[in-house]
Amino acid sequence: MQAGAAAAFGAVLHRDLLIAYRRRADVLTTFFFFVIVVSLFPLGVGPEPETLREIAPGVVWVSALLAAMLSLARMFSGDFADGTLEQLVLAPQPLSLLVLAKVAAHWLTAGLPLVLVGPLLGLQFDLPADALGVLLASLLVGTPALSLIGAVGAALTLGTRGSGALTALLVLPLYVPVLIFGAGAVVAAAQGTGAGGHLSLLGAMLMLSLVFAPWAIAAALKISLE
């Protein structure tokens, strides 16, 4: 990465992190949504440890998926409204690099907190230590893929009426493989069968998303701005 491109990436990342800090209520909304949804299931299902351990991977991963989707609306909408997106499109640096910085900022503010608190919430479900470690690893690998995939949907629906519902319809089918292998890794660890295959597939999805999603986001933003 050339010095100018690296500086532009850092500037966009710093700007978006600063905006997120100033709008802490939006970040906290996503975080507490995840915590509350995960915490409600043990209360509703009951205290049986076997049942809780069985449902834990799906509950945590579905909650993380919904929380990630809840935060997609703010990724580009503010920049679209104040004209910042037009400036990014006109910048000499590749638009795909600049939107990758925005996705990175989104994950740091919306995804990373879920990764850190996920194993703590897993304690409510009586998950063994090995499964908690795999849960942390699966969220660490899977949530960036959710941000990248979700950014494509957010860019495609930018400026349209009912964009939130349209984004959900677009990204939910693409989220399903991440959900399956993320939860499957935790299930495999809890059953002692090994989670390496699931985590490898999650890593492959993340690599594919890193390669292709920035280009798709950039193209979608250009279409939305026309």
Average pLDDT, the chain: 89
Q: What is the rounded CA–CA span in Å between residue 184 and residue 81?
A: 40
DSSP state of 107: I
Predicted TM-score (pTM) of the model is 0.91
Residue 1 has pLDDT above 70, yes or no: no
Q: What pLDDT sits at residue 87?
A: 87
For 24-49, the pLDDT digits (tens) are 888 899 999 999 999 998 888 877 88
Residue 221 has pLDDT above 70, yes or no: yes
Q: What pLDDT sits at residue 57?
A: 92
Q: What is the mean pLDDT of residues 186-195?
A: 86
Q: What pLDDT sits at residue 90?
A: 84
pLDDT category at 111 given cuts 50, 70, 90 is very high
Q: What pLDDT sits at residue 186?
A: 93
pLDDT category at 83 given cuts 50, 70, 90 is confident
For 60-79, the pLDDT digits (tens) are 999 999 998 888 878 888 88
Q: What pLDDT sits at residue 162?
A: 66
Q: What is the mean pLDDT of residues 201-211?
A: 94
pLDDT category at 108 given cuts 50, 70, 90 is very high
Q: What is the rounded CA–CA span in Å between residue 50 and residue 156?
A: 43
Percent of the chain whose predicted confidence (pLDDT) is above 70: 98
Q: What pLDDT sits at residue 133?
A: 93
In angstroms, what CA-CA distances link 98 with 29, 71, 73, 94?
A: 26, 19, 18, 7
Residue 136 has pLDDT above 60, yes or no: yes
Q: What is the mean pLDDT of residues 136-140?
A: 95
Helical residues (DSSP H) of the chain, grouped into ranges:
3-22, 24-45, 49-70, 77-82, 84-90, 95-106, 112-122, 129-156, 163-191, 196-225
Q: Among positive and negative, which fits the CA dihedral 194, 197, 200, 201?
A: negative
Domain locations along the chain? 3-225
pLDDT category at 204 given cuts 50, 70, 90 is very high
